[in-house]
């Protein structure tokens, strides 16, 4: 983040007067002390944030004008309070709050979008591999066999599989279904 003062009075470098004059009058707009503060910043990922301009004003407001966030407040420089307000304006949170001031739980659409994104990232192979790793160790140590609803059915299916002396690898070789659905077919074999 970088902030710099932008003075509104003209900055004249040359004057025009009689050669050898002792005093030269420089006309001014009377805005010598008036200034705004320009603020430019980028996020840690390199994305540029909206530029901000601090203006001294008796009223406090934040508004977007021509792609610039105008911050009007008591002085014309950034304070920690204004940095927080500017960040909230650029990156709106969108939270709903309870009467007590706590953040409400996300609605079903938000949770659904999280699950959709997660399901796109996790491959069927990852799910199947993690499911196969449950089979390492003794049958009574499997976490699914201790489940209150599915545990008994899963344990019975596991016993049937051991009796038939088939392994997951043998099932994969003789399977006529798509590899991406191995996990689903294995769960569907549970007679629930």
DSSP code per residue over 15-40 = ----TT-S-------S-TT-EEEEEE
> In whole angstroms, what is the distance from residue 45 CA to residue 47 CA?
6
Exposed e or buried b for every residue in 57-80, given b needs 16+ CB within 10 A? eeeeeeeeeeeebbbbbeebebee
- Residue-wise pLDDT for 67-120, tens only, equals 888 888 877 777 888 888 888 887 777 777 788 878 888 888 988 998 898 888
pLDDT tier at 30, thresholds 50, 70, 90: low
| Whether pLDDT at 36 is above 80 | yes
Q: Select, from the ranges 24-38, 54-68, 122-136, 169-183, the one with the highest average predicted confidence (pLDDT).
A: 54-68
- pLDDT > 70: what percent of the chain? 70
> Phi-psi category of 39—alpha, beta or left, where left has phi over 0 and alpha has psi -120 to 50?
beta
Of residues 145 and 176, which shows the higher confidence score?
145
Calculate the average pLDDT of the chain: 74
Q: Indicate the domain borders of the chain.
A: 2-90, 108-188
pLDDT of 15 reads: 67
- Residue-wise pLDDT for 113-160, tens only, equals 988 988 888 888 887 777 766 665 555 556 667 777 877 887 787 777
> In whole angstroms, what is the distance from residue 98 CA to residue 104 CA?
6
Q: Hey, is 43 helix, strand or coil? A: coil
pLDDT of 177 reads: 45
The strand pairing partners of 65, in sequence order, are 68
| Whether pLDDT at 192 is above 50 | no
């Amino acid at each position: 983040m970088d902030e710099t003062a932008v003075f509104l009075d003209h900055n004249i470098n040359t004057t025009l007067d009689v050669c050898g004059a002792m005093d030269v009058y420089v006309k001014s707009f009377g805005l010598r002390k008036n200034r705004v503060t320009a603020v430019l910043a980028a996020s840690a990922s390199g994305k540029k944030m909206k530029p901000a301009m601090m203006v001294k004003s008796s009223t406090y407001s934040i508004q977007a004008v021509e792609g610039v966030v105008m911050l009007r407040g008591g002085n014309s420089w950034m304070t920690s309070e204004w940095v927080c307000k500017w960040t909230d304006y650029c990156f709106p949170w969108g939270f709903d709050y309870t009467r007590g001031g706590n953040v409400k739980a996300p609605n079903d659409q938000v949770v659904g979008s999280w699950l959709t994104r997660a399901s796109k990232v996790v491959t069927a192979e990852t799910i199947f591999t993690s499911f196969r790793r449950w089979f390492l160790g003794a049958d009574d140590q499997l976490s699914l066999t201790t489940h209150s609803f599915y545990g008994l059915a899963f344990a019975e299916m596991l016993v049937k599989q051991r009796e038939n002396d088939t392994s997951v690898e043998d099932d994969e070789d003789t399977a006529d279904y798509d590899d991406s659905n191995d996990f689903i077919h294995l769960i569907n074999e549970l007679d629930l």
